[in-house]
Structure 1
Amino acid sequence: MTPEEQFASRVYRWAAIYGIPVLLLAYFQPVPDPWHLTHLGFAGTALVFQGVFLVIARDPRRFQPLMPVTFFEKLCFGIPAVAFALTGQNEVMTGIFGAIDLLLFALFLVAWRKMVRSTA
């Protein structure tokens, strides 16, 4: 594995190692009744993406075309969570988790760019 592939593999593996337990905990959070199904749908979809991260981690060169899709997975939660926390519309802890997603987005972007540059 090239250094670029090793970096990408580590980033995606650690993202999944972080994401799986965090998202599993989301299944046990109390959520207001009208939003319970939406909350579980979000957590489940995000949990599926942790599997995608593990697939990419196993062979970053092969799955490089899938990497940009993962950017959106991180941005879809990260941006609103941070924005809402900054305006006081949700808990600070949610904003912290959003900030972690934005950090992971940045690492995914760096990993992808390194991979693209190494093939050019």
Structure 2
Amino acid sequence: MKFVRTIFLLAAAWGFFALVPGLFAEPGPRPEYYYGFVGLALVFQLIFVMIAIDPLRYRMLVPIAILEKLSFFLPVSILYLQGRMALGPVFYGAMVDGLLMLLFGLAWFLLRKEAKAD
């Protein structure tokens, strides 16, 4: 359980660190999309904290957390492979999300084993 808690607390800390400064950035031509993305992503950081507090109770949220990470990692990866995105902060942030997605998958596996043991 400690490993799962640590994964989700680190994910939340990383998310707050990466996203909060974006609230003070100039969003570009479609600010509603930009601020909507940042706002929704910040809400998910609170979900990660909730999972970290009681992983067994909230284990059904873990697959949704995996999808949240996939929803940024996959499009950025595809755009990069198509040559439509350069290496930079957005790309590297998406790669961190990919790593967290894999760690969330490991957490899901560990939680399923723990739930069956109870």
Structure 2 partner of 1:14: 10
Which is further off, 92-101 or 42-51?
Answer: 92-101
The one-letter amino acid paired with 2:64 is V
SS at match of 2:85: coil
Change in CA separation of 1:45 and 1:9 when aligned onto 2, cut-off 3 Å: same
Q: Report the CA distance between 1:8 and its aligned residue.
A: 0.8
The one-letter amino acid paired with 2:34 is H
TM-score under structure 1 length normalisation: 0.89
The whole-number CA distance in structure 2 between the counterparts of 1:91 and 1:12 is: 29
Deviations 1:79-107 (A, max 9, x none): 11122123231231221111110100000
The one-letter amino acid paired with 1:117 is K
TM-score under structure 2 length normalisation: 0.90
Map 1:1-120 onto structure 2 (within 5 A): 5-33=1-29, 35-93=30-88, 94-120=90-116
- 1:75 touches 1:105 (CA, 8 Å); kept in 2? yes
SS at match of 2:24: coil
Q: Which runs of 5 or more residues in structure 2 are unaligned?
A: none
- 1:19 touches 1:50 (CA, 8 Å); kept in 2? yes
Deviations 1:21-58 (A, max 9, x none): 2111222333322x211011001000000000001101
Number of positions where the alignment pairs a residue of Structure 1 with one of Structure 2: 115
What is the CA RMSD across the aligned residues, in angstroms?
Answer: 1.2
- Percent of aligned positions with the same letter in both sequences? 31
4+ residue segments displaced more than 3 Å: none
- 1:86 touches 1:95 (CA, 8 Å); kept in 2? no
